[in-house]
Structure 1
Amino acid sequence: MSTAPSPASGTTQGTAPDLLNLRDVGGLSTTDGRTVRPGVLLRCATPAFVDDEQVARLVDELGVATRVDLRSEKEAAEATSAAFDAVAVEHLEVHAGETRWDFDSAHLSDWVAGHYLRFTEHSPDSLVAFARLVGDPGRTAVLAHCTAGKDRTGTAVALTLAAVGVHEDDVVADYARTEQAMPLLREQFTRLPSYQERLAALPAEAFGSTPETMRRFLRLVEQTYGGARAYLRTHGLTDAELAGLERHLLGD
């Protein structure tokens, strides 16, 4: 089973070099042979460091019209560049309750996948609202992020992609691409005063994004809810909205 990143999945880092882990998920393949359209859904890490020029390029070159912030309001207030005032923002906090990063490293993928499942338990309204935003045909590109662009963003993006039939291997590979950005991200985090305590509390293993983690998470979603599509429907996304999401992400 391949877990290499899809070559069609767009690397857009040059547009905003201080917005790490930035990419367009366009080009990923579905199980019925279609592909995700570029310019609909992008993902990235912390928006704390971009300047006005980089944000202008995101808008002009990539069509970004909406930024979806999956962090808490406190995190957003502490670490968001004022340059992003030029882009409409939707705050959709994704959280896992009171769970802390505490695991046996020998079972890392199992623990992290279970942590992602807790996002689905504690944040269904935000995850459904995210799918609605991505499926809104009146929007140009939606840019989703949390802090690393890995856990909360990875969960929201994976559910949305899986719900329209993107192949599991492509969902997994897109998630795993974050690993490449982690060395630079960790350096960025040291420049976020509000992040110092959290950074010190996290074990080194928390900064990985292994393919096996996302594959196990998708299995848990299947076992628990009957799949991503069923999860979104159970928590309020209508059949018409699902059809619209599929149409907007994949085209006719």
Structure 2
Amino acid sequence: MNDAYKRTVSIASAPNLRDLGGIPIENGNIKRGLLYRSASLSSLTDTDQGWFSTLGIGTVYDFRTAAEAVESPDRLPTGSDRISLDVLADASASIAASVGQLTTDPQAFVASLTDGQAEHLFEDSYRDFVRMPSALTAYRSFFLSLIDEDRHGAALFHCTTGKDRTGWAAASLLTLLGVNEADVYDDYLQTNTDLLPALEHVLQNAESHGVERETLMPVLGVRESYLAAAFEQMREQFGSINEYARDGLGLTSEQLHRLRTNLT
């Protein structure tokens, strides 16, 4: 898939924002302008709210924890409704929900992330996105809301950096829609291009506290092994993506058909 740059939406205060439309499926492409993914919208400026409004986004799905959302609430323009879907509500701790600590205490955050520990923690978090009850509840609600006839406008989903909880939401949805594996990974890895430049201030802050930026790359970026861990958990626990949707998320064949019809 070589048109990822065409799907990226350049709004400075809304990093890692892109349209899932245009990604190819067997008999065409996912429809454009219906579904977007991004990082947190807590820094959306007044000026950029105007640009954001032109996307016609009526519903924003927030996968962050309650604590994350309270600390950095979304700044949405009038006409966009926010729905909280706490993927990690059942987790006592998760590295995916702790990235924000990099801005306050980077040394403490990276203290235990040596010798590949970061990669291991992220891979385990991605397994939680598949097996944790709160994650199953959140993603079920997300998919069902996408086919809710009372929902208006386009939809956007995000977490803090738009790469992990958001990454699995996108990857599982794209797979259910019939996107091939290579293109699913292409969209996932596009975060390394779209997000990292916006996190330069985080890297510089960490460096000012004696933390080498290379140490943070497994934390601030995404890696194939992270998403692979989620898919592996899905196959181990459910067998296939359709069985994950049916037995894990409780979606019916009719609901899956409507999801595919609405978006493709």
TM-score by length of 1: 0.80
Equivalent AA in structure 2 for residue 78 of structure 1: E
How far apart are the structure 2 equivalents of 1:143 and 1:182?
Answer: 16
Partner of 1:160: 173
Do the aligned partners of residues 92 and 100 (structure 1) sit closer, same or farther apart at CA in structure 2, a change above 3 Å counting? closer
Q: 3-state DSSP class of the match of 1:82?
A: coil
Do the aligned partners of residues 107 and 51 (structure 1) sit closer, same or farther apart at CA in structure 2, a change above 3 Å counting? closer
Do the aligned partners of residues 182 and 8 (structure 1) sit closer, same or farther apart at CA in structure 2, a change above 3 Å counting? closer
Are the counterparts in 2 of residues 9 and 26 from structure 1 also a CA contact under 8 Å?
no
Equivalenced residue count is 236
For the pair 1:180 / 2:193, whether they are aligned, the reply is yes
Equivalent AA in structure 1 for residue 242 of structure 2: R
Report deviation, 1:80. Answer: 2.5
Do the aligned partners of residues 248 and 236 (structure 1) sit closer, same or farther apart at CA in structure 2, a change above 3 Å counting? same
Report deviation, 1:104. Answer: 6.9
Question: What is the aligned counterpart of 1:37 among 31, 39, 64?
Answer: 31
Report deviation, 1:213. Answer: 2.9
Are the counterparts in 1 of residues 130 and 233 from structure 2 also a CA contact under 8 Å?
no
Which digits, 9 at most, give the CA deviation of each residue in 1:137-171, with x for residues without a partner?
Answer: 55331111111100010011111111222111111
Partner of 1:197: none
Moved more, 87-96 or 76-85: 76-85
Do the aligned partners of residues 105 and 208 (structure 1) sit closer, same or farther apart at CA in structure 2, a change above 3 Å counting? farther
For the pair 1:28 / 2:38, whether they are aligned, the reply is no
Partner of 2:263: 249
Give the structure with higher Rg (CA). 2
Matches within 5 A, 1:107-126: 112-122=122-132, 123-126=135-138
Matches within 5 A, 1:93-112: 93-95=86-88, 97-101=91-95, 105-106=115-116, 112=122
Partner of 1:141: 154
For structure 1, list consecutive stretches of 5 or more residues without a partner in the other structure: 191-201
Do the aligned partners of residues 8 and 182 (structure 1) sit closer, same or farther apart at CA in structure 2, a change above 3 Å counting? closer
Partner of 2:231: 218
Question: What is the aligned counterpart of 1:63 among 53, 56, 62?
Answer: 56
